[in-house]
Amino acid sequence: MGLACAPIDVTNTVTVRPRAEPSEQFGGEQLVAREFVADYVQVNARLLVEIRELQSCVTTRHVPVLRVEKVHRTNRGFVIWDFALGTFTGGFAALAFARPKLFSDRLVDGTGREAYDYTSAYVVGGVFAVISAGLLAAGIVDAHRSRDTTRYADAFEVELGPAQPCANTQPAPLAKRGVRLIIDGGAIELEAMTNATGRTRFELPAWDAPVPMGDRLPAVIEIATINGDDVEPRVLVLSLRAPFTGMTDAHSGVADTRRTPQLDQGPSIESIEPIELIEGPQPP
């Protein structure tokens, strides 16, 4: 029989208390988000995009606190059973030693006298005494294991400041990153790669579906992560003009992952110089 085998249920409760020490600051800013801004111009079926990356950081402050961990343990009442059974078997062993005749064989000799063999009584008493000792020892060990404890430790609680542009950084071109243009919830999907200045372009196919009211189509640009295994959690939201042909002026706007996109009408098509926005031949 194994000792101290009672199951112990453990519940941990952690609280912190302030310490009368000044707060400290370790390291500099921490990067918490990558935001993106895109200027785009649509000229008929050609969409010219220039994307910049903005990094948001927070400052951290380490406040001294006292960490208090209270560990509450319960044994589901198994300790009571250990002591109860240990007491019962111990009493039975004591009875076997005190009244051995109750557990011994009675013998009668040739003259008619009665005699008792106490061997079986002492064996029974010894066995139950060992069982009683084991149960009582298990109860003591389980009672010790199921005690509640409280642990104290010095710690620091990290407080984050408000998100703001990272110090000593400027909006940088999103260079050499894969992008995907998704129009009208997936009706059209186009992929491209930005150049060293964060510029790229999409050649929009013919739009054969009915033109929505206002001649506007919702679109988003997904940006691949640096390693290219996934896409960034934030997307750029655009509004394109359909049906991508017969435009007499350019349609431009700004997409910003930090706020709702703002659209405006660009200059006339004659005054657009796409070569300033993206490298490539001038559109017809």
Provide the strand spans (E) within the chain: 9-18, 30-43, 46-58, 60-74, 105-108, 114-117, 149-160, 164-165, 172-173, 178-183, 188-193, 199-203, 216-223, 236-241, 249-256, 262-268
* Structure confidence by residue, pLDDT tens digits, 87-144: 999 998 898 888 888 887 777 766 767 777 788 888 888 999 999 898 888 888 888 8
> Is residue 102 helix, strand or coil?
helix
Q: Which DSSP state fits 103?
A: G
Give pLDDT tens digits for 69-93: 999 988 887 888 888 888 999 998 8
Instruction: Give the pLDDT confidence score for residue 4 in this predicted structure.
Output: 54
Question: Residues 180-231: pLDDT tens digits?
Answer: 999 888 888 999 999 999 999 999 888 888 877 777 888 999 999 888 788 8
Task: Report the distance separating Cα 241 and Cα 47, nearest Å.
Answer: 10
pLDDT tens for each residue of 10-27? 899 999 888 888 877 776
Question: 44-57: per-residue pLDDT in tens?
Answer: 888 999 999 988 88
Q: Cα–Cα distance between 85 and 99 in angstroms, integer?
A: 21
How far is Cα 38 from Cα 52, in angstroms, rounded to an integer?
A: 6
Side-by-side strand order, sheet with 149-160? 9-18, 60-74, 149-160
- Higher-pLDDT residue of 272 and 173 is 173
User: pLDDT per residue over 239-283, tens digit each?
Assistant: 888 888 777 778 888 998 877 544 444 443 333 343 333 333 434
Predicted pLDDT of residue 52:
92
Angle 13-18-19 from CA coordinates, rounded to 5°: 125
Question: Checking DSSP bridges between strand 249-256 and strand 30-43, what pairing results, if any?
Answer: antiparallel
Rounded to two decimals, what is the model's pTM?
0.52
33-58+171-276 CATH: 2.60.40
CB environment 18-45: b (16+ within 10 A), e (fewer): eeeeeeeeeeebeeeebbbbbbbbbbbb
Averaged confidence pLDDT in the chain: 81
Block residue for tokens 């990094």 = 55
Any idea where the domains of the chain sit in the sequence? Answer: 33-58+171-276, 76-145
Cβ pair 251, 266 in contact under 8 A = yes
